Amino acid sequence: MGVIYAPHKTFKKVANNPKYLAVAIIVLLFIALQSVYYYNYYSKISYEQTMPPAGQLSAFTSSGVNSLYEPQIANQWVVTQGAVITENYQDYINQTFYGENSLQFVLPNSNSLSASFEQFGYTADCSSNGFTSLNMNIKQVSPNAAPNSGSITLYTSNSTSSYFTLDITSMLTNNRGSWNNLTIPVGGSEWQSTGSPEWSEVTGLKFSITYPSSSEINILLQGVFFRGQYLTQTGALGSGMFFSIAIYSIFMQAVFQWIILAVVSYLLLKVLKANNIVWKPLIVAIGFTLMAIVITSIFLVLSSLTLPEISCPYDLPFSTIAYSDAIVNSAAPTSQALYKLILEDTATFTTLTTVINVFMYILQIIFVTFAIKAVSGCTYIKTITQNTDSDTTTIETVNVDSHSELSYIKCIVIAVVTVISTALILALLAGLGIF
């Protein structure tokens, strides 16, 4: 605690009598506090799950990059006799997650069309703990008349004899000739069941539509997937796995920060020709400067109490609540609007964490300044043992050149450069996935 209320005296003592055990205790405190903060943070943020997964949302309407090795998507749909299925690369919703084409169904001179994808290759759990809705983007190019009826059928357990059916006629009467997003609730009592269907094992679907009179039917589909299930990272991993990953990441972060701070400051001291610097006092004193991240971790834990429970949509990645403009702009308009609300709800938390992080850098610069000042003038005794064939000699080297102690101006400059350089290197390592 002397680092906090008497840093000058404390770093002098540390430099003259460096002990690694104290640094180890500081690192353990940091790991414990950051683990609590991470748990509080990631247990309050839920991320929307989809089926197919977010990176494969075009699976039901696009052949994708593996079309040379997998059946064309058009061949996997069963349609009314005479209907032609094609992948339309001119008329589609230009949204990153939906792929670069729609699936087009054209049936001449008929008043009804049905199209079924009987086996997804996935199993969608639409029970009480699973997905809550089926997303479907549809464009009724022709006819211009409103349909008499429309329905969605969900097959279960890879069978077409057990299924749920829902009338969606009211969803199909508006926005004809334009893309229309349908969010169809699943798992409810409004669905009619046939056979012995199970909401926990939805494995296929069928879309049916009927018009008042016969004409050409031209319909496009895109973005067909299940959504509405939300998981936190702590829930997805389980507490044991979550803490294992968190502790490893925090430990690596602390160790890398300690070593980089020490190495950068050592090199800068050598550039300034502070030749009396000894490595052990320096690295232990720098280890004590990690008290800055311990102190700010306490405030971070407290700040996490202000974070409300929030739900992020499927097209914002499973990471944090802060995203770049490029990521936000690639999301659907509804998700972008939701993200604005998330930013408003988390404004207090974001402000607090920003202030805490700035405070951490300032505090670290102060501590590194005192550490450099103390080490440059310390009287650390270094014991060297020399063994020969006939004798063993112990030599004690004393760093007594206290007159070479650096001025506070030089120490502050070294501290600023050291902390900034370390922050940049740590950001690079984090980007590479080191921790």
Work out whether the CA dihedral 188, 194, 200, 203 comes out positive or negative: negative
Domain edges within the chain: 2-42+238-308+346-431, 51-228
How many whole angstroms separate alpha carbon 205 and alpha carbon 362? 59
E strand or H helix at 149: strand 149-156
How many whole angstroms separate alpha carbon 399 and alpha carbon 278? 8
How many whole angstroms separate alpha carbon 66 and alpha carbon 388? 71
What pLDDT was estimated at residue 363? 95
Assign 185 to helix, strand or coil.
strand
What pLDDT was estimated at residue 67? 44
Exposed (0-12), middle (13-18) or buried (19+): which is 298, by Cβ within 10 Å? middle
Exposed (0-12), middle (13-18) or buried (19+): which is 148, by Cβ within 10 Å? middle
What pLDDT was estimated at residue 334? 83
What pLDDT was estimated at residue 396? 44
Residue 299, number of CB atoms within 10 A of its CB: 18
Compute φ and ψ for 378, nearest 5 degrees.
Answer: -80, 165
What pLDDT was estimated at residue 130? 93
What pLDDT was estimated at residue 284? 93
Q: 175: which 2 tokens?
A: 């926005």
Q: Which fold has domain 51-228?
A: Jelly Rolls (2.60.120)
Adjacent-strand bridge partners of 217 = 107
Name the pTM for this structure.
0.79
Mean pLDDT per 10-residue interval, the chain, length 435 residues: 70 85 94 96 92 88 60 84 92 85 93 93 91 95 92 93 95 88 93 94 95 94 93 88 93 95 92 79 93 96 94 79 80 86 92 96 95 80 57 49 71 94 92 78
E strand or H helix at 61: none
